[in-house]
Each structure stands twice: as structure tokens, then as C-alpha cells.
């Protein structure tokens, strides 16, 4: 199978969107952005052994490569429209390509996100997906709008995904709870619908990929404010508490990554709207930095989150 056959067989499909003037097959794609909208673009690379464990199924990798990108569109409040895919693979393994494209397109079709181009090379297993979406002009959410007094929410309390990765890496035991955690890690659900709703009300938003504390710190820094988290054990999922000691569960919830939930702030008068799409975890305050209370006590985390270039 040569490169042309590979692209044709696994990635080239008939166009489903009428805003794709030209898709796969030419030197570049031609896409039509509707009037009064802005183009929203995001790109993420996932590397075997860094972002997913060596030996992950091709279908899960295909799903995840797109999901983490769609999550960025969700955080902006955008509607997904198009994607491009740069695929570096060690060999043209048909079983693998089949699984990968199945996982990728299953999610793409759910969100009507059409693959319009890409690049295919031989090399280490590295997958880069770019997604493009559209948003009504001037309505995209940013990290920078949070104000003192705003209520802080997450679409679902964090921790399960990082716990799922820990299960994959260590515990072969597969209780129903452990399987749920693994699924949260392998199959993050991009919160597109929530992002669309929240963009009309949230003062700031982002998706949580590196850890709740580090990502909240980024949102606060962008907004020039601080945050007070007020957490209790009742926020943690049962699957998490059934599988790990509580101290460990808090470590996953606060400093683990891979959640791909939305973190957002709303003015106090709109707290009820925040509640419709997630759970309240704290309040924005004047100043800088994130303070954290757990079950009424000041909590000092051992680590705040994931950083590719941090000294190890
Ligand atoms: P070029 O040399 O012009 O970059 P390529 O031979 O790399 O063209 O690709 C041919 C066509 O196939 C282009 O339209 C490109 O966007 C598309 N393509 C290549 N690889 C992929 C892929 N993995 N997924 C989707 N489209 C791809
Ligand atoms: Mg090329």
C-alpha cells in the first residue's frame, strides 16, 4: 500500500458539509466561514508513551486525538466544523489504520467535524490534529474575563481520568469502578454543548487538561485575579473513592490531568446557570494565586499539575 492508497482508503471520504469548497486531494483545503462568524483554530499533538500508554488500542488513540482538540473548541464556545490530521506512523499497518480511523471518525461524525486534509509520514507514533470551528462574532469565551466574586464551576468534578491512567499503568484488577476510570481517561467527552450554552453567560472559561489547580492558576493569571477553592469529599466520584484512598483521590482531582472538563466562571447573579452545566468549586477573589480548602481545612497540594518541561 503506498501513501496515496493509504490516504484514500482510510481518510478520504465524501464531503458532508456544504461549507467545504475543496477537501482532501488538492494542495490545500478551501473552507467557507459564514458571515458574522469567527474562525476558531486549535492544534494538539499526542505522542505515544507521553499522552497515551504504549500499547493503547488504535481506536482509542484515534478517538482521543480528536477529542482533546474538540475540547479546546468547547472551551471557546465554538461549533466544530473541520479538521486536519498529521499522522506519523512506524508502518502502514492496516489493522491499526482501520481502528484509528474508526475511532477518529466516530467522534468526528458525532460533531459533524469534517476531515479536510493532512499529512502522512513514516516515523515514531505521533499524531497531530488541528480542529477548526466557528463562533458568532465577539461571543467566544476566553480565559481572561473572570472578576472577583464570580462563581467557579467545572462541568464534572475532576480526577477520574488521572485515576484511570494510574489504573492502566498499575492495577490489573478490573472492578466496574476501575473500568469507569479507565474509560474516562481513554474516552474524554468534549463538552461542546456546554461550551455553546456557557458562552453567553461565562466571564471566563478553559478546558482542564493539565490539572485543575494549574489550569485554574492559568485562568486566574490571564484574568488578573485569584481564586478560593472550597471543596468537599462529596464532590469526588464514587468510582474514584471506591478505587483509591481519599488522599490519593484528592491528588488526582487537583493535580492529575486529562480531564477535558470545562472550567468556567459566571457572575454571582448567574450562579444558577453555572449550576445547570456543572458543579460549583469556588469563588474568584481579588489578588493572585489559588488557595484551596478541602472539607473546611486549608489544603497544600504536593504538586500542582503536569508540565512537559518541568525539571524532574
Ligand atoms: P502535499 O504534498 O501537497 O502536501 P500530500 O501528498 O501530503 O500532498 O497529501 C495529498 C492530499 O491528501 C492532500 O490534500 C492532503 O491534505 C491529504 N492528506 C494527506 N495525509 C492525510 C491524512 N492523514 N488525513 C487526511 N488527509 C490527508
Ligand atoms: Mg503533504
Closest residue (by CA) to atom 3 of ligand 1? Answer: 27
Q: pLDDT tens digits, residue range 76-125?
A: 999 999 999 999 999 999 999 999 999 999 999 999 999 999 999 999 99
User: Distance (Å, rounded) from C-alpha 181 to C-alpha 175?
Assistant: 10
Residues 3-29: tens digit of each pLDDT: 899 999 999 998 789 999 999 999 999
Grid cell of 214 as nine digits: 494549574
- At residue 134, the pLDDT reads 98
* Sign of the dihedral through C-alpha 265, 282, 191, 219: positive
pTM over 0.85: yes
Longest CA–CA span in the chain (Å) reads: 62
Distance, in Å, from the CA atom of 285 to the CA atom of 98, rounded to the nearest integer, reads 50
The single residue listed with the C-alpha cell 471557546 is: 76
Q: What is the DSSP string of 189-233?
A: ---HHHHHHHTTT-SEEEEESS-HHHHHHHHHHHHT-EEEEEE-G
Closest residue to atom 18 of ligand 1, CA basis = 118
Residue ranges for the chain with pLDDT beneath 70: 171-172, 307-312
Instruction: Kindly give the number of the ligand 1 atom that is closest to the alpha carbon of 117.
Output: 16
Ligand 1 centroid from CA 34, angstroms: 25
Ligand nearest to the CA of 22: 1
Our mutation pick for probing the ligand 1 site, out of 3, 13, 96, 119, counting the most ligand atoms within 8 A of Cβ, is 119
**Of all protein residues, whose CA lies closest to atom 27 belonging to ligand 1?**
118
Ligand 1 interacting residues, C-beta cut-off 6 A: 7, 11, 24-27, 85, 87, 115, 117-120
Q: What is the C-alpha separation between 236 and 257, in angstroms, rounded?
A: 15
Beta strands in 138-260 (DSSP E): 151-154, 204-208, 226-231
The grid coordinates of residue 148 equal: 472577583
**Which ligand minimizes its atom distance to the CA of 120?**
1
Ligand 2 centre from 118 Cα, in Å?
7
Strand, helix or coil for residue 261: strand
Q: What per-residue confidence (pLDDT) applies to 300?
A: 86
User: How far apart, in Å, do the first and last CA atoms of the chain sit?
Assistant: 42
Mutation probe of ligand 1 site: the residue of 23, 120, 127 with most atoms within 8 A of C-beta: 120
Ligand 1, atom 8: nearest CA belongs to which residue? 27
Amino acid at each position: 500500500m503506498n501513501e496515496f492508497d493509504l490516504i484514500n482508503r482510510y481518510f478520504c471520504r465524501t464531503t458532508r458539509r456544504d461549507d467545504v469548497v475543496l477537501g482532501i486531494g488538492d494542495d490545500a483545503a478551501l473552507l467557507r466561514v459564514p458571515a458574522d462568524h469567527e474562525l476558531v483554530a486549535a492544534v494538539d499533538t499526542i505522542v505515544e508513551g507521553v499522552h497515551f500508554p504504549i500499547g493503547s488500542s488504535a481506536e482509542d488513540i484515534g478517538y482521543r486525538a480528536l477529542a482533546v482538540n474538540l475540547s479546546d473548541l468547547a472551551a471557546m464556545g465554538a461549533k466544530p466544523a473541520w479538521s486536519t490530521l498529521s499522522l506519523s506512523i512506524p508502518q502502514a499497518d492496516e489493522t491499526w489504520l482501520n481502528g484509528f480511523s474508526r475511532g477518529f471518525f466516530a467522534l468526528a461524525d458525532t460533531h459533524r467535524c469534517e476531515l479536510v486534509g493532512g499529512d502522512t509520514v513514516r516515523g515514531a507514533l505521533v499524531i497531530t490534529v488541528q480542529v477548526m470551528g466557528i463562533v458568532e462574532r465577539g461571543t467566544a469565551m476566553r480565559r481572561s474575563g473572570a472578576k472577583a466574586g464570580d462563581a467557579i464551576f467545572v462541568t464534572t468534578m475532576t480526577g477520574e481520568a488521572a485515576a484511570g491512567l494510574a489504573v492502566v499503568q498499575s492495577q490489573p484488577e478490573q472492578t466496574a469502578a476501575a473500568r469507569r476510570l479507565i474509560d474516562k481517561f481513554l474516552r474524554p467527552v468534549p463538552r461542546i454543548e456546554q461550551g455553546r450554552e456557557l458562552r453567553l453567560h461565562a466571564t471566563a472559561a478553559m478546558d482542564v487538561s493539565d490539572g485543575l489547580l494549574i489550569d485554574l492558576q492559568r485562568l486566574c493569571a490571564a484574568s488578573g485575579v485569584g481564586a478560593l477553592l472550597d471543596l468537599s469529599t462529596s464532590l469526588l466520584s464514587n468510582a474514584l473513592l471506591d478505587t483509591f484512598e481519599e488522599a490519593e483521590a484528592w491528588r488526582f482531582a487537583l493535580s492529575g490531568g486529562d480531564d477535558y472538563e470545562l472550567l468556567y466562571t459566571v457572575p454571582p447573579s448567574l450562579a444558577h446557570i453555572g449550576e445547570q452545566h456543572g458543579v460549583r468549586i469556588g469563588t474568584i477573589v481579588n489578588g493572585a494565586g489559588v488557595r484551596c480548602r478541602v472539607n473546611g481545612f486549608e489544603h497544600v497540594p504536593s504538586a500542582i499539575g503536569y508540565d512537559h518541561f518541568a525539571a524532574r
